[in-house]
Structure 1
Amino acid sequence: MTTATEARSGKSHRDENFPVASHLIHPRHRGAILAFYDFVRAGDDVADNGGLPPERKVALLDGLAAALAGRGPDDPEAAPLRAALAARGLPPRHALELLDAFRMDARKSRYATWDELIHYCRYSAMPVGRFVLDVHGEDPAVTWGPSDAVCAALQIVNHLQDCGKDFRQLDRVYLPQDALDAHGASVAMLGAERAPPPLRAAIAALARRSLDLLEEGRALPDLIDDTRLSLEIAAIHRLAVVLARGLTERDPLSEPVHHGKAAFALVALRGVAACLARRPFRRRLHPVLRGARP
């Protein structure tokens, strides 16, 4: 019987579209973030495994949850994160919420509305940002709101980039049906080699909604006390804006949306430089910080 370890895809944090615990993050925090990523990657690989029936996927995800929370047998995929959480006195809440998203993936392959997609992002994306902020000791009252907006945008940008692959390989469609209907597009169009104009229009509209979310979370780097984390988030935010803008113009079914490594590094550096330039003035720029802890 397949285990969570046997279901692993081999994908690592280096294969993600956005940086995960880059060297901008202080070494004392990288281990916990990477342990979180590895646990979440194991759950995601279970949900995406085409050889497992939905009920087996859910059983494996339940086993990961029980092992992480200390309610069931140990699992090698859960042990490193459980140790990292114990060392910092953090609860498993955020990782368990991500497992809820993977249970959704095991049982659900279509989304009717934008609000339904955002509900999915509440469990599939927002807990990631919240965990990273908690590891750094950031104030949830100040940072969670804009972080949620940024994380939802990152998730949707990833969905848009991978929409053809998700449909062909997993029969999974994250583009809401109401967005497709609004432009006369259909799910079947995702199987084409090139996106027909109605599908291109639907993807562009969703990319613009992602840009709205990124604008909602634009202040996040300035609201973060840890300078190294603020620079990491600034780089990610800038990369996401560039990708979302690209998706308003490019066809993810037939052409790459990502730029090359050198171009992406330049975009990230610009985000970092702009954040550093604002850093001395952040309390003046954001009144919410005046009442925050020093």
Structure 2
Amino acid sequence: MASSKIVCTVARAETVAAARTSIAVGSKSFAAASKLFAPAVRERAWLLYAWCRRCDDLADGQVAGHGMRRLDDAPERLAAITAMTEAALAGEVVGDPPFDALRLVVAETRMPPRLPRDLVAGFALDAEDWRPRTEDDLYRYCYHVAGAVGCMMAVVMGVAPDDAATLDRACDLGMAFQLANIARDLSEDDAAGRCYLPTQWLAEIDVPPGELMRPSYRPRVAMLARRLAIRAAAFEASARHGTPALSFRSAWAVLAAAAIYGAIGREVARRGERAWDTRVSTSGADKLRFIARAAAQATRRRRLYPPTPRDPALWTRPR
């Protein structure tokens, strides 16, 4: 019995180590924010990230979030993601470290299986070459690929799975991140044959799908990118009001991440039509500044971000 426990402990440590490497390579912003968590939460955040990163890489043919390309075998990749995710949710040893990372997180936090499945549903939309037609479609996609991740992170931080109000705020942060990412990655997505701008928005400015990056259309597309940044800022502001429900260290990490990712959307909006000349990112110095500011905000979070009714005009996640 003792030897079995030792083996399990070693296996977990190896999975955590692999997850730590995954986040260090795949997301410097998330890696920086995760250092602020308490040790147990930090490890589970790494484990969850590793699974999300692996699924995303499989779905997009990437390596550590880079090099997205057109795929001829998207349905097969989705089937593999689904099968391994379901095995992990059933408590089975998968043999692929990121999927075993999910198994550990679910077992240790009692995470509702619906949340990982909601993320996989987002990958299914991409596999179907889906495009949003309306703004509501855009938000639904953002929920599946990022809002659900926000909810899972909240559970990792100790939020009860039935605390709908706090999960709504966590979802808001994921929505903010994804909207900012879409604005930043318009050129990269266009090169891969994808577009997450609603077709109704494109019709408004008379830009044909697949031609976003033509120089003559750049000023108009910049207007839509600014619109995305404004929407992202509204979700970010809402998310901040969920931090009083978190511990100090978790609130610190969340507020730091909100500032780091929020800066991406604001910079895209500031650059206008030059936003895609070089990839927008936050510098190491900026990250340190945001982290320091977030510490002060976390200390005063109950006064700065008192629990208030969520803005009914904001899109709400499915129940």
Counterpart-to-counterpart distance in 2, 1:172 and 1:33: 29
**Could you tell me whether the CA contact under 8 Å between 1:143 and 1:224 is conserved in 2?**
yes
157, 168, 192: which one aligns with 2:180 = 157
69, 74, 85: which one aligns with 2:89 = 69
Counterpart-to-counterpart distance in 1, 2:102 and 2:208: 41
CA positional deviation for 1:142: 3.3
Counterpart-to-counterpart distance in 2, 1:85 and 1:119: 24
Q: Report the CA distance shift for 1:194/1:134 in structure 2 as closer, same or farther (over 3 A).
A: farther
Q: Report the CA distance shift for 1:108/1:225 in structure 2 as closer, same or farther (over 3 A).
A: same
Q: Report the CA distance shift for 1:87/1:143 in structure 2 as closer, same or farther (over 3 A).
A: closer
> Under a length normalisation based on structure 2, what TM-score does the superposition of the two structures give?
0.76
Counterpart-to-counterpart distance in 1, 2:249 and 2:202: 40
SS in 2 for 1:258: coil
Tell me which residue corresponds to 2:252: 231
Counterpart-to-counterpart distance in 1, 2:175 and 2:146: 6
Which shifted more, 45-54 or 108-117? 45-54
Tell me which residue corresponds to 2:36: 24
CA positional deviation for 1:206: 1.8
CA positional deviation for 1:105: 1.2
CA positional deviation for 1:171: 0.9
**Could you tell me whether the CA contact under 8 Å between 2:226 and 2:268 is conserved in 1?**
yes
Which amino acid letter does the alignment assign opposite residue 12 of structure 1?
Answer: S
CA positional deviation for 1:242: 2.3
Which amino acid letter does the alignment assign opposite residue 211 of structure 2?
Answer: M
Q: Report the CA distance shift for 1:205/1:48 in structure 2 as closer, same or farther (over 3 A).
A: same
Q: Report the CA distance shift for 1:167/1:75 in structure 2 as closer, same or farther (over 3 A).
A: farther
Which amino acid letter does the alignment assign opposite residue 83 of structure 2?
Answer: G
**Could you tell me whether the CA contact under 8 Å between 1:25 and 1:229 is conserved in 2?**
yes
**Could you tell me whether the CA contact under 8 Å between 1:130 and 1:147 is conserved in 2?**
yes
Q: Report the CA distance shift for 1:107/1:31 in structure 2 as closer, same or farther (over 3 A).
A: same
Matched, 1:198 2:220: yes
> Under a length normalisation based on structure 1, what TM-score does the superposition of the two structures give?
0.82
Matched, 1:213 2:235: yes
CA positional deviation for 1:281: 4.1
**Could you tell me whether the CA contact under 8 Å between 1:101 and 1:120 is conserved in 2?**
yes
23, 38, 53: which one aligns with 1:13 = 23
Matched, 1:115 2:143: no
Question: 1:141-174, CA deviations, whole angstroms, 9 ceiling, x for partnerless residues?
Answer: 3311222122101011111111111111x21111
Counterpart-to-counterpart distance in 2, 1:258 and 1:51: 27
Tell me which residue corresponds to 2:66: none
Equivalent pairs counted in the alignment come to: 274
- Structure 1 residues without counterparts, runs of 5 or longer: 1-10, 289-294
Tell me which residue corresponds to 1:133: 154
Question: 1:114-161, CA deviations, whole angstroms, 9 ceiling, x for partnerless residues?
Answer: 110111122111121211211222252331122212210101111111
SS in 2 for 1:189: coil
Tell me which residue corresponds to 2:210: 188
Tell me which residue corresponds to 2:269: 248
**Could you tell me whether the CA contact under 8 Å between 2:180 and 2:232 is conserved in 1?**
yes
Counterpart-to-counterpart distance in 2, 1:110 and 1:279: 38
Q: Report the CA distance shift for 1:64/1:214 in structure 2 as closer, same or farther (over 3 A).
A: same
Q: Report the CA distance shift for 1:286/1:63 in structure 2 as closer, same or farther (over 3 A).
A: closer
Which amino acid letter does the alignment assign opposite residue 281 of structure 2?
Answer: H
Q: CA RMSD in A?
A: 2.6
**Could you tell me whether the CA contact under 8 Å between 2:297 and 2:304 is conserved in 1?**
no
Question: 1:171-203, CA deviations, whole angstroms, 9 ceiling, x for partnerless residues?
Answer: 111121222222333333334479621111121
